Amino acid sequence: MTIVDLLVCTTCRAGNVPATDDAPRAGATLLDQLARDMPDGVRLRGVECLSNCSRGCTIALRGPGRWTYVYGNIAPDSTDLSALLKGVARYRDTLDGLVPWRERPEHFRKNCIARIPPQEAPHD
């Protein structure tokens, strides 16, 4: 099985909510929540700033020879985790990263920020 990466922006503040010195950022909280129940074949990685600050917590899914997806508006608590993990598993189970529209969790259908072709894609 090919390993795919789930990148979580650890600097996200859940939209424009100001961060306080003593509270963890929403993205770091999301990373901690996801670390508790990651599907096999998925490598969880915290990254700094995915430049999607106005659209809440942000993640990216990528893998060799696959399309990369960036998703936003993810709740840092447990509200979106079940759907998020199902979507991650569906992505992992594809050969090219293209999960059929109807098989994507609703959150993924409504909150896709970007879809990036594989680096290995043929050029015109």
CATH no. for residue 95?
3.40.30.10
Question: Is 109 domain-assigned?
Answer: yes
Q: Structural domain of residue 52, as residue ranges?
A: 4-116
Question: Is 121 domain-assigned?
Answer: no
Tell me the average pLDDT across 38-45.
96
Return the percent helix, strand and coil in the chain, to nearest 5. 25, 25, 50
Question: Is 123 domain-assigned?
Answer: no
Radius of gyration of the chain measured on its C-alpha atoms: 14
pLDDT of res. 46? 97
Question: Is 124 domain-assigned?
Answer: no
What is the tally of helices (H) and strands (E) in the chain?
3, 5
Is the predicted pLDDT of residue 10 greater than 70, yes or no? yes
Number of domains in the chain: 1
pTM of the model: 0.89
Q: What is the pLDDT of residues 49-68, one digit of tens each?
A: 999 988 889 999 999 999 99
